[in-house]
Structure 1
Amino acid sequence: MLPPAREKIDSHQRLVLSERDRDLFMSVMENPPALKGKLKSAIKQYKDKYSK
C-alpha cells in the first residue's frame, strides 16, 4: 500500500487521548457506573425476551 494511503487509514483507526482523558477512560472501564433509568430497563427487557 502507498505510504500516504496507509497514513490516512491509520489516522482513522487510532484515537489519541490526553493523559487526563486516558485516566478517566480507564477509571470508568475499571469501575463502571451503576445502570439506571431507561438503559437499565431496556437491558432487562432484552434479557427477559432473549435469555434461555
Structure 2
Amino acid sequence: MTQMKTHFMPPSPTRGFTLIEILVVIVIAAITAAIAIPGFVRITSGAELRTATRTL
C-alpha cells in the first residue's frame, strides 16, 4: 500500500495591523487629545489676554 505524502506549506508571515489594534490606537489618541486640548486652549487664551493687556 502506498502512503500519500501531505505537504504542508509553512505559514506566511502576515504583516499589517488588525482592526482591534487600530481601534485601540484611535481610542488612546482620542483620550490623549481630550485631556490635552482644554489645557492648550487655556494656555492660548491666557496668552491672548496678556498680549491684549500689553498693547493697551
TM-score of the pair, normalised by structure 1: 0.34
Rg larger in structure: 2
Task: Name the structure where helix makes up a greater proportion of residues.
Answer: 1
